[in-house]
Amino acid sequence: MKYRILLFGLLFLYQTTSATPPPEELGKVNWLRDFEQGLERAGREDKLVFLLFQEVPGCSTCRNYGKEVLSHPLIVEAIETLFVPVAIYNNKGGQDAAVLKYYKEPAWNNPVVRIVGFDRFDAAPRVSGNYSPLGVVQAMLFALERKGSPIPSYLTLLNEELQAQQQGAETTTLSMYCFWTGEKQLGQLDGVISTQAGFMDGREVVQVTYNPDVIPFEKIVASGRQVSCADRVYAHNDSQQQSAAKLLGKDKTARAATFRPDREPKYYLSKTHYRAVPMTALQAARANALIGQGKSPEGLLSPRQVELAQQAKGLPEQKLENAIGKDIAEAWPWNKP
């Protein structure tokens, strides 16, 4: 009997250690590998096909695309739930080569994404030469809007955050009587993509990162003043210092100094089970603001994030992990049930 148990254990160990992991070029997405099967499913589910042409095994560009774009939890969820994902290897023969030929895609190429309908025609501009998360997100948004499909809030927020990062986000620091209140008030402003409470020059402050193309510096300060959350401005550049001096006076303006983060980041969020849900910086800022106002943040979250929140809600307080401030991809429970 003991030999049977030993044999079973060895077989189990072999099976678990010999399982081939998915190619890193494909990221975390669960792909179909048959284009015709993908089209059939797309027609049945009334979805578009997310068609990836990828070199597997591939160069560093291909591997990085898998790690940085196709492994972002919200991008993975959007591809898997809003589309039918199909991966075509551009360095293989057979069915892969036939699809490559049909779309006149070059072999042994860097990653290319096409979003196509059941009729095989493109539903969005071909994504080529753009290896950023924003490129894929904008293609998905274009295709969904063109098809008339609902666009989830989490994807719109992700686009807003990625756009700010690509276009050049700026940071400023405001002081106030209570940084928990400041983070709640400033985190709800359109164009603000992240907030961080802490200390500077012996004062409670909130560092605000924002997209100046959406919300100008002056509006952030003015909005802060309306709710007593801009008593003083610590400028991060000459332009901010000049504008702040006009708005508040030179005696309430200074250059940014050493910033020390608060020990309880996102105070309102941290007091709920939502702290266990991995979020982007923008989602966390908005969620913290909503919770601080007594509102639910679930409208900001993806269905999978909502599911994680429900799972966390049923756990004892001491078993809740804190995902606040952590990179969403690193904090995401990929291998957990």
pLDDT digits (tens, 9 = 90+) for 36-93: 999 999 999 999 999 999 999 999 999 999 999 999 999 999 999 999 999 999 999 9
Average pLDDT for 116-125: 96
Do 131 and 50 belong to one domain?
A: yes
**pLDDT surpassing 70 at residue 18:** no
Q: How confident is the model at residue 14 (pLDDT cuts 50, 70, 90)?
A: very low
Average pLDDT for 268-290: 98
Q: What is the pLDDT of residues 290-317, one digit of tens each?
A: 999 999 999 999 999 999 999 999 888 8
Residue that is last in its domain, among 151, 186, 205: 151
Contacts of 93 (CB under 8 A, 6+ apart): none
Do 194 and 232 belong to one domain?
A: yes
Between 162 and 10, name the one with better pLDDT: 162
Do 117 and 196 belong to one domain?
A: no
d(CA 90, CA 120): 18
d(CA 205, CA 187): 13
Q: What is the pLDDT of residues 155-189, one digit of tens each?
A: 999 999 999 999 999 999 999 999 999 999 999 99
CATH of the domain at 246: 3.30.1060.10
Do 286 and 206 belong to one domain?
A: yes
Which pLDDT does position 336 carry in this prediction?
Answer: 59
pTM, to two decimals: 0.91
Q: How confident is the model at residue 3 (pLDDT cuts 50, 70, 90)?
A: very low
Q: How confident is the model at residue 319 (pLDDT cuts 50, 70, 90)?
A: confident
Q: What is the DSSP string of 156-190?
A: HHHHHHHHHHHH--EEEEEE-S-HHHHHHHHTTST
d(CA 48, CA 114): 10
- Domain with 275, as residue range(s), is 169-337
Biggest alpha carbon distance in the chain? 85
CB 301 within 8 A of CB 309: yes
**pLDDT surpassing 60 at residue 7:** no
Q: What percent of the chain has pLDDT over 70?
A: 93
Residue type, 158: L
Number of separate domains in the chain: 2
Sheet order of strands, 203-210 included = 253-255, 232-235, 170-175, 203-210, 192-200, 260-261
Which pLDDT does position 15 carry in this prediction?
Answer: 40
Do 234 and 194 belong to one domain?
A: yes
Show the tokens assigned to 172. Answer: 């400023």
Which pLDDT does position 16 carry in this prediction?
Answer: 39
CATH of the domain at 144: 3.40.30.10
Residue that is last in its domain, among 151, 184, 213: 151
Average pLDDT for 225-246: 96
- Closest by Cα among 99, 77, 78 to 87: 99
Residue 158 in any domain: the answer is no
d(CA 55, CA 92): 9
Which pLDDT does position 318 carry in this prediction?
Answer: 82
Do 311 and 234 belong to one domain?
A: yes
Which pLDDT does position 19 carry in this prediction?
Answer: 53
Do 201 and 326 belong to one domain?
A: yes
Do 175 and 305 belong to one domain?
A: yes
d(CA 275, CA 291): 11
Binning the chain into helix, strand and coil, the percentages to the nearest 5 are 50, 15, 35
**pLDDT surpassing 60 at residue 337:** no
Do 314 and 226 belong to one domain?
A: yes
Q: What percent of the chain has pLDDT over 90?
A: 90
**pLDDT surpassing 60 at residue 2:** no
Do 146 and 173 belong to one domain?
A: no
Residue 282 in any domain: the answer is yes
